[in-house]
Structure 1
Amino acid sequence: MKIAVTYENGQVFQHFGHCKLFCLADTETGSRELIDPMGEGHGALAGFLQAHGVDALICGGIGGGARVALAQAGITLYPGVTGDVEAAIAALQNGTLNYNPDTVCNHHHDHGEGHSCGSHACGEDKHGCGGN
């Protein structure tokens, strides 16, 4: 199994769509690799992870569109996770990962009618994406 974890300074990064690094963990070989999605963005990240053979994603906050894209890519989602990346990987492997399947990134819903946040030129502080 290949597990991807949103990554920042050894911790689970809390905004999937703005993740600058993913830790890829291969459970068969025990290998770890940090990969840069090179600014892929919300929608394309699912395809990026799928192209890297990812089976499962551990992350903090995540929006509805990304959830759909991951499901369509066949990637199992474990959102609402905080803390150390290595601890999260180990917990998933042994069946004790503390995650919240209902976690959503709520800043996507704070805008007025007709507003699209596709380019994320707005709300740069991204409050509400902490996996709560």
Structure 2
Amino acid sequence: MKIAVTHENGNVFGHFGHTAEFKLYEAQDGRIVSARVVPTAGSGHGALAGFLQAQGVEALICGGIGGGARDALAAAGIALYPGVTGSADAAAAALAAGSLSYDPAAKCAGHEHGHEGGCHGQESGCHGHEGGCGQDRHGCAGRG
């Protein structure tokens, strides 16, 4: 199984739509057998699901994620494991072993831009608009 984790400084990055890189893992027989970091090369928001699909990713571990990205990942056939924090390596190993603790309801949060319902008032969740939510790469994670 190929697992992608939103990645920053060894940890799960808190907002899918703003991740600058993914750590991709190959899992076999319940354990990680290889890993590599792949930059998104400027792919943002809606393009990230296609980026992951092109990498052959079957499962994504992330922190927060908006509704539009959830839909795009589902359409790409990528299983989603949101609401994860901490070490990217530990999260991938836990998923491979079948013991990952995650929050299926985790959303992109921490936007104080006046969007109705936070960033999720936008038709496509956090995705598809420039400025606003996209200005603060760490804002969706609630980190500064």
- Bin the TM-score by the shorter chain: 0.7 to 0.9
Query: Which whole-Å CA distance do the structure 2 matches of 1:25 and 1:60 have between them?
Result: 17
Q: What SS does the aligned partner of 1:27 have?
A: strand
Give the TM-score normalised by the residue count of structure 2.
Answer: 0.80
Instruction: Specify whether residues 51 and 77 from structure 1 end up closer, same or farther in structure 2 by C-alpha distance, changes over 3 A only.
Output: same
Unpaired segments ≥5 residues, structure 2: none
What is the deviation of 1:112?
A: 4.9
The whole-number CA distance in structure 1 between the counterparts of 2:19 and 2:141 is 12
The 1-side partners of 2:107 and 2:27 are apart by 27
Q: TM-score, normalised on structure 1?
A: 0.87
Change (3 A) 1:111 1:55: same
Aligned to 1:86: 89
Q: Which residue among 90, 99, 102 is the counterpart of 2:102?
A: 99
Distance in 2 between residues matched to 1:87 and 1:2, nearest whole Å: 15
Paired residues, what number?
Answer: 130
Letter in 1 for 2:23: C
Q: Percent identity of the aligned residues?
A: 58
> After superposition, where does 1:45-124 map in structure 2 within 5 Å?
45-106=48-109, 107=111, 110-112=114-116, 118-123=128-133, 124=135
C-alpha RMSD over aligned residues: 2.5
User: Per the alignment, in what secondary structure is the counterpart of residue 96 of structure 1?
Assistant: coil
Gaps of 5+ in 1: none
Distance 1:54 1:108, change over 3 A: farther
